[in-house]
């Protein structure tokens, strides 16, 4: 077992992690994008110039996944993106992703980031390399990224971890592009099912990350 790390606050570290994994691994059985943060308490930009929560919860895992997509496809592997039921309350405002205008709330930027991740998951399933399976999951009865919303902030994460492990297992039948609450396939937000909305997000994300 080897530990390799990257700070999702910095996209150059994400790129370095992806490069190292591509060099060391010819095939990758599973990628779980579970690193995330609650919405920042106030407007915060990263050194890369993006809103902090959006970068950590969406841009960084999207970038890492795309860099490793071929290795995952070679192993007929799975991408499991940990999202949130709160994605259904999110909105993608391309004119103000940093929430520079209007009212800023941590909940709104968190929901936006999880909506983008869930939309990306469906797009990856449809347009990614053959052999790769992608799905998104809200793995527990509470927000694992937001302990302040749990009845007990130090509640163990054993149940969500077990759900994620089950969905990663090749013997578990899943729907490619599906959204799960626990292990139950569930309808996601309307924008996730909207192919035009997802294509717009994909185009914006790819152009933005190329120029980052």
Q: Which residues are catalytic?
A: 110
Q: Which residues pair with 181 in a beta bridge?
A: 138, 184
Helix H segments across the chain?
A: 11-24, 52-54, 60-74, 106-127, 158-168, 190-193, 195-211
| Structure tokens that stand for 185 in this block | 């396939």
From the list 71, 69, 67, the residue with the least C-alpha distance to 24 is 71
Torsional sign, CA 116, 122, 126, 131? positive
Contact criterion met (CB below 8 Å) for 135 and 80: yes
């Amino acid at each position: 077992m080897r530990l390799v790390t990257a700070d999702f606050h910095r996209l150059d570290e994400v790129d370095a992690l992806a490069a190292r994994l591509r060099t060391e691994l010819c095939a990758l059985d599973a990628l779980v994008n579970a690193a995330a943060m609650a919405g920042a308490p106030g407007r915060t930009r990263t050194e890369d110039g993006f809103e902090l929560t959006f970068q950590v919860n969406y841009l960084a895992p999207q970038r890492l996944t795309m860099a490793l997509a071929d290795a995952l496809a070679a192993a007929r592997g799975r991408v499991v993106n940990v999202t949130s039921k709160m994605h259904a309350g999110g909105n993608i405002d391309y004119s103000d992703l940093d929430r520079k205008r209007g009212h800023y709330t941590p909940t709104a930027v968190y929901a936006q980031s999880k909506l983008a991740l869930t939309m990306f998951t469906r797009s990856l399933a449809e347009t990614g390399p053959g052999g790769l399976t992608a799905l998104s999951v809200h793995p527990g009865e509470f927000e694992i990224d937001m302990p302040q919303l749990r009845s007990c902030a130090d509640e163990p994460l054993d149940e969500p971890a077990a759900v994620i492990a089950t969905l990663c297992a090749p013997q578990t039948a899943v729907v490619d592009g599906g959204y799960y609450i626990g292990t139950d396939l569930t309808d996601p937000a309307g924008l996730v099912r909207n192919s035009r909305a997802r294509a717009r997000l994909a185009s914006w994300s790819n152009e933005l990350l190329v120029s980052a």
